[in-house]
């Protein structure tokens, strides 16, 4: 992936930090949109000064189509989209508010649609692209009290596979990974640390993601790759 222009959404998050390290090791050129300056500072603290200086960070609201379109256009050239943005909220279906339901769709599915839409537009200009999205084990094995999250992630899988079908005959691929619980600080706070050793490590998932984002994965399209760890 040396020299490839990569748009990495969610790059300041717990998973994003691990994926960023893998991309830096592969000498990719990385653009990371962000909202929270505190997360940018946390990412900075987790990298060396020289590594952090290689990143291009752009303040962007990924729920705003105009901002996403501008972000992609300003990149000039785009080879790879790795879309990590997402998050979960728990609650029984009969107690879950409609506002929270819509927030889960916005965060997990609608940001995926918007970033894929505009990245794909740019990739088609030069007939090259790798799109990797993040679904969830819950997309194929839904769990109680995660209905909104699982439904949104199932939508991510369907969207990604539809893009893969639309781009047949091109040098553009789209694939999705399906992690179980990822070992991030946020998940440790939310779920405790008793089983954390069994969870998927960010760098491990990052290796799978970066393979799918590489030229070596040119013959893989529409795959939904389970990355379940030992859970």
- Taking the CA atoms of 160, 1, 205 and 110 in sequence, report the sign of the dihedral they define: negative
Q: How far apart are CA 52 and CA 9, in angstroms?
A: 16
**CA-wise closest residue to 9 among 23, 212, 1:** 23
The per-residue pLDDT of the chain, averaged, comes to 95
pLDDT for residue 193? 85
Q: What is the pTM of this model?
A: 0.96
**102 Cβ contact list (under 8 Å, min separation 6):** none
Q: Count up the domains in the chain and report the number.
A: 1
Long-range contacts of 46-54 (CB under 8 A, 24+ apart): 46/17, 47/17, 47/20, 47/21, 51/21, 51/24, 54/24, 54/29, 54/30
What pLDDT score was predicted for residue 72?
A: 97
- Mean pLDDT over 207-213 rounds to 97
Using one digit for the tens of pLDDT, what is the confidence trace for 104-130? 999 999 999 999 999 999 999 999 999
Angle, in degrees to the nearest 10, between helices 147-166 and 111-126: 10
Confidence at residue 194, expressed as pLDDT on a 0 to 100 scale: 85
pLDDT at 231 over 80: no
Q: Lowest-pLDDT range, 171-175, 184-188, 197-201?
A: 184-188
CATH assignment at residue 105: 3.40.50.720
Mean pLDDT on 73-88: 95
Tokens of 121: 């537009």
End-to-end CA distance of the chain: 31
| Residues 25, 6: Cα–Cα separation, whole Å | 13
Asked if residue 55 lies in contact with residue 28, where contact means CB atoms within 8 angstroms, the answer is no
- The mean per-residue pLDDT over the stretch 135-150 comes to 96
Whether pLDDT at 181 is above 90:
no
Q: Which range marks the domain in which residue 157 is found?
A: 5-227
β-pair partners for 176: 133, 224
186 pLDDT band, cuts 50/70/90, is confident
């Amino acid at each position: 992936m040396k020299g490839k222009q990569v748009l990495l959404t969610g790059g300041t998050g717990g998973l994003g930090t691990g994926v960023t390290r893998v991309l830096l090791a592969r000498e990719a050129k990385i653009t990371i949109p962000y909202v929270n300056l505190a997360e940018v500072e946390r990412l900075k603290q987790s990298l060396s000064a020289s590594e952090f200086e290689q990143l291009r960070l752009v303040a962007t609201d990924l729920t705003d189509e105009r901002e996403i379109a501008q972000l992609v256009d300003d990149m000039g050239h785009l080879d790879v989209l790795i879309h990590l943005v997402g998050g979960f909220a728990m609650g029984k279906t009969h107690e879950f508010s409609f506002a929270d339901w819509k927030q889960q769709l916005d965060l997990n599915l609608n940001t995926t649609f918007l970033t894929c839409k505009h990245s794909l537009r740019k990739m088609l200009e030069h007939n090259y692209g790798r799109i990797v999205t993040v679904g969830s084990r819950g997309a194929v094995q839904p769990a109680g009290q995660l209905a909104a999250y699982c439904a949104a992630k199932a939508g991510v899988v369907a969207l990604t596979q539809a893009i893969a079908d639309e781009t047949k005959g091109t040098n553009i691929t789209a694939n999705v990974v399906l992690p179980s619980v990822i070992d991030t600080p946020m998940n440790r706070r939310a779920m405790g640390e008793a089983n954390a050793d069994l969870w998927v490590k960010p760098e491990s998932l990052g290796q799978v993601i970066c393979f799918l984002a590489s030229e070596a994965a040119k013959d893989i399209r529409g795959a939904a790759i389970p990355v379940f760890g030992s859970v």
